[in-house]
Amino acid sequence: MVARDLSAAPPTPIYVCGPTASGKTALALELAARHDGEIVNADAFQLYHGLEILTAAPSAEERAVVPHHLFSVLDPATPNDAQSYVRLATPVIAEIASRGRTPIVTGGSGLYLKFLTHGASPLPTGDAALRAELDALPLEDLVEELRRLDPVEASRTPLQNRRYVSRAVEICRLTGGKASELRDQWETATASKTAALHGYVIHRSRPDLHARIARRTRAMLEGGAIDEVAALESVSTTFEKAIGFREIRALIRGEIDRATCEEQINAATRQYAKRQETWFKRESWLTPHTPEL
């Protein structure tokens, strides 16, 4: 290993992003070897211990290659959010850089990464009553309202995605303004942060990614994920959202069979991967990376 001049400016983090099962761990290990780095977790569920198989956390062999941080550090019953993650990750990243090593921040949790790189958004938090009202409306009504309230935001929102359309309408109603203007003002305010960022987003073809998801789901079910879930006594509302958790609980209770459980996990994972791809397309500072097949 080449000795670093610790009097020089500390290395800046490299971010490795992409949809689930796209190969972020492999790219992070490659970059860590190339840049004298240490890997920092930015996956919301790999923070939890005792669920390494379910969450597809790096294996013991992979962790032995270079130091890994913030994997398996939270009890499953502990709630967590993006702001709490930033409080965990910021000092870890700073400590790695202070030693002249490069932090390789790796994960697919877009909101956690956004809070870490740009800070908390000024957009209003969700309102439960308003969301319930919006959830009761047909998607076409929400799209029509968004186009009326904020044509710019409507033009850059995937209008077939109810979640994104509903959130944009919610912002407009809560603020009395336009979601597009609030987002653009924030992007302008954080432009200097964006200019200093360096990272990659993994791109794979849809068939390739779906095949990788299917292989990982089967390996997870055959490799001990069912036993992991069965051993849990309680989990936080955060971890309840982990893909595979509810499906495996239903399998354990006898509500579905193994094949149905596997297909439900595959379907949920494919949907999540699509949402991740949409999220990371907005992060124009990320350099696309297409792994060799």
Confidence tier at 133 by pLDDT (50, 70, 90)? very high
What amino acid is encoded at 270 in this protein?
R
Q: What tokens were used for 237? A: 């509302």
Local structure of 286: helix, strand or coil: strand
Q: How confident is the model at residue 123 (pLDDT cuts 50, 70, 90)?
A: confident
Domains in the chain, number: 2
Is residue 1 predicted with pLDDT exceeding 50? no
154: CATH: 1.10.20
Average pLDDT over every residue of 239-248: 95
Q: Which residue has the tokens 């996990």?
A: 265
Residues 96 and 60 in one domain: yes
Residues 286 and 165 in one domain: no
Q: Are residues 41 and 180 in the same domain?
A: no
Domain-embedded: residue 277: yes
Q: What's the pTM?
A: 0.83
C-alpha atoms less than 13 angstroms from C-alpha of 288 in its C-beta half-sphere: 7
Q: How does residue 7 score in pLDDT terms, banded at 50, 70 and 90?
A: low
Q: Comparing C-alpha atoms, which of 199, 210, 198 is closest to residue 22? A: 210
- Helix pair angle (128-135, 162-175), 10° resolution: 130
Taking residues 141-152, report their average pLDDT: 96
- For 274, the domain range is 9-119+197-293
Amino acid in the structure at residue 44? A
- C-alpha to C-alpha distances, 27 to 21, 39, 106, 120, 208, nearest whole angstrom: 12, 11, 9, 27, 17
Q: Would the pLDDT of 5 be above 80?
A: no
Question: pLDDT tens across 84-117, in order?
Answer: 999 999 999 999 999 999 999 999 999 999 999 9
CA 249 – CA 63 distance, rounded (Å): 29
Residue 109 maps to which CATH number? 3.40.50.300
Let me know if 178 is exposed, middle or buried by CB neighbors in 10 A (0-12, 13-18, 19+). Answer: middle
Q: How far apart are the C-alpha atoms of 117 and 196, rounded to whole Å?
A: 10
Question: Is there a single domain that holds both residue 16 and residue 141?
Answer: no
**Domain final position from 141, 165, 188:** 188
Burial environment of residue 174 by CB neighbours within 10 A (0 to 12, 13 to 18, 19 or more): middle
pLDDT of residue 127: 86
Q: Residue 35 has which token pair?
A: 């840049």
203 shares a domain with 183 = no
User: Does residue 125 have a pLDDT over 90?
Assistant: no
pLDDT in tens, 195-241: 999 999 999 999 999 999 999 999 999 999 999 999 998 899 999 99
What pLDDT is recorded for position 138? 95
Q: How far apart are CA 44 and CA 71, in angstroms?
A: 10
Task: Check whether residue 89 and residue 184 sit in a common domain.
Answer: no
Q: Are residues 105 and 244 in the same domain?
A: yes
What is the percent of the chain where pLDDT is above 90? 84
Can you give the pLDDT at residue 2? 42
Q: What is the pLDDT confidence band of residue 183, given thresholds at 50, 70 and 90?
A: confident
Is 4 inside any structural domain?
Answer: no
**Spatial CB neighbours of 204, under 8 Å, sequence gap ≥ 6:** 19, 22, 23, 212, 290, 291
| Per-residue confidence (pLDDT) for residue 293, from 0 to 100 | 64
Please give the pLDDT value at position 232: 92
Same-domain pairing of 104 and 24? yes
User: Residues 151-159: what's their mean pLDDT?
Assistant: 93
- Residue 3, domain member (yes or no): no
200 SS3 class:
strand
Q: What is the mean pLDDT of the chain?
A: 93
- The answer as to whether 60 is a domain residue is yes
Please tell me whether residues 280 and 171 are part of one structural domain.
no
Token pair, residue 58, equals 């790096």
If asked whether residues 87 and 15 sit together in one domain, one would say: yes
Which of 140, 159, 188 is where one domain is finished?
A: 188
Which residue in 14, 13, 5, 21 sits closest to 277, CA to CA? 21
**Size (the chain), residues:** 293
Q: What secondary structure letter does DSSP report for 254?
A: T
